[in-house]
Chains A and B, each alone.
Chain A
Amino acid sequence: MDITKKVVLIGKFGVGKTSLVQRFVHQKFSDEYLTTIGVKIDKKIVEINGKKLSMLIWDIAGESSHQKIPSSYKLGAQGIFYVFDLTRPSTFGDMSVELNELENILSGVPIKIVGNKKDLISPESFDALRKQLSPNILYCSAKTGENVEKAFYELGTEMLA
């Protein structure tokens, strides 16, 4: 029997959560921005260390002034992506506060912090940013696909551990 786990993507609006899922599940990317209403659920079965893992991916809309998201969407999550946008400091300025809150409601659940849209910043500013931020962040791009598979497989491995 397959193992099924719930994965949630959390992060400010427009950071690229939906794009990351699209890239991972459907190998597609679009430059168009269609904000997620509420939540979108996708599924992908991956094989990790000989085990079949069915990932139920909850792509939760980033909160904005006109969209409040039920906090219960996160409940029961067994893996978390915290996504931010490398080009918008407002999407990672209060990261530690948000990570703390997550730790409070979902303590012990593996979290992967993902800095997205790497394709949009110059190597120099990328280096500068990387020095500022926590060392365990994974940098990727939903547009080029860089590190996207890696992010999901790493989280999957942690969830199965």
Chain B
Amino acid sequence: MVEGYRFKKLKEILFEQDRRAREELQSKLIEIEKGVNTREGMEARVNPILEDKVTFLQQNFPTLFGPAVTQAIKREIKESQDEVVEALYPIIGKMVKKYIVKEMELLSERIDRQLDLAFSWEGWLRRIKGWFGGVSEKDIITQQLMEPTLEEIFVIQQNSGLLIGSYSKNNTIDQDMIAGMLTAIKAFVQDAFSRGGEDLEMIEYETYKLIIRNFKSFYITAVISGPVNMEFKNELDQQILNFAEQVLKQEGQIREDKMKGHLEHWFS
């Protein structure tokens, strides 16, 4: 009996510490388990570390990844140069134009005044001729001719000269052939006179003026009757640039089947 009691005591003395340690361990384990197995617990533990990492990445992104990203972009641009240039063309055109328009304002006003004078003088001459010839229609026609009118607009593929789209007020000419001939004339002028980079911008034929605006893979020609003044030309230029920009932005590339609709929308 006494021995049994002693043995029990001894056991208590020997294992009590062990038991406590085990109990502590157990409760710790439960706590850890909670931390790992529940989302909230896990988040509370990991979030601070992640946040640190993210802040670190944010601060050091340029140095860590900058060269690689730049390299990738460079490669992308190099490999799809055409698309990049195509996208930039209208924008650059606009920028350059804005600058030039500003510089030209003074000059253009002077030219406008000159033109007005010249045309009103011619108008009078024509009218006088009309009176003496007794043909009143002539007078009317002459007056109509005094207003610049957009007769046709063509969107033409560079080089091949194939017509991509057109808008016409009266549809009297074979536009495919006109597009081809224009391209041939352009190529000829460029070949004969261009020292590189310049391009044919305007053709005058009797009372018609053909205004040509070049983009990378296509060019746009507007056929105008009547005297073209600076204001009209500026407006037209702006419209052509806007059209090119919008259409390219929407389509990424020129789609022939939609071109007619676009042209009508922009130029009618």
Give the most central of B174, B176, B177, B190: most A CB within 10 Å.
B176
Contact B187 A73 (CB under 8 A): yes
Contact B163 A4 (CB under 8 A): yes
Contact B161 A6 (CB under 8 A): yes
Q: Mark A66-77, 1 if CB is under 8 A from B, else 0.
A: 001010110111
Contact A76 B162 (CB under 8 A): yes
Give the most central of B177, B180, B181: most A CB within 10 Å.
B180
CA–CA, A6 to B177, complex, Å?
11
Contact A6 B188 (CB under 8 A): no
Contact B176 A39 (CB under 8 A): no
Bin chain A's interface residue count.
20 to 34
- Whether a CB of chain B sits under 8 angstroms from the CB of A101 is no
List B residues 171-219 near A (Cβ within 8 Å): 174, 176-177, 180-181, 184, 187-188, 190-191
Across the interface, which residues of A come within 8 angstroms of B180, CB to CB?
6, 41, 56, 58
Across the interface, which residues of B come within 8 angstroms of A76, CB to CB?
157-162
- Whether a CB of chain B sits under 8 angstroms from the CB of A43 is yes
- Whether a CB of chain B sits under 8 angstroms from the CB of A154 is no
Q: Mark B154-172, 1 if CB is under 8 A from A, else 0.
A: 0001111111000000000
Contact A43 B187 (CB under 8 A): no
- Whether a CB of chain B sits under 8 angstroms from the CB of A87 is no
List A residues 42-97 near B (Cβ within 8 Å): 42-43, 54, 56, 58, 68, 70, 72-73, 75-78
- Whether a CB of chain A sits under 8 angstroms from the CB of B257 is yes
CA–CA, A76 to B158, complex, Å?
8
Across the interface, which residues of A come within 8 angstroms of B116, CB to CB?
none
B: number of interface residues (CB 8 Å):
19
List B residues 123-168 near A (Cβ within 8 Å): 157-163
Q: Mark B249-267, 1 if CB is under 8 A from A, else 0.
A: 0000000110000000000
Q: Given contacts A70-B190, A70-B191, is CB(A58)–CB(B184) below 8 Å?
A: yes
Across the interface, which residues of A come within 8 angstroms of B157, CB to CB?
76
CA–CA, A68 to B191, complex, Å?
10
Across the interface, which residues of B come within 8 angstroms of A58, CB to CB?
161, 180, 184
Beyond A70-B191, A73-B184, list 9 extra A-B contacts (CB 8 Å): A1-B256, A5-B162, A6-B162, A38-B184, A43-B177, A58-B184, A70-B188, A70-B190, A76-B157
Which residues of B does A touch, CB under 8 Å? 157-163, 174, 176-177, 180-181, 184, 187-188, 190-191, 256-257
**27 A-B residue pairings within 8 Å (CB atoms):** A1-B256, A4-B162, A4-B163, A4-B176, A5-B162, A6-B162, A6-B180, A38-B184, A41-B180, A42-B177, A43-B177, A54-B176, A56-B176, A56-B180, A68-B191, A70-B187, A70-B190, A72-B159, A73-B184, A75-B160, A76-B157, A76-B158, A76-B159, A76-B160, A76-B162, A77-B160, A78-B160
Report the 8 A-B pairs with minimum CB-CB distance, sorted nearest first: A76-B160, A75-B159, A70-B191, A41-B180, A76-B159, A72-B187, A70-B187, A39-B184
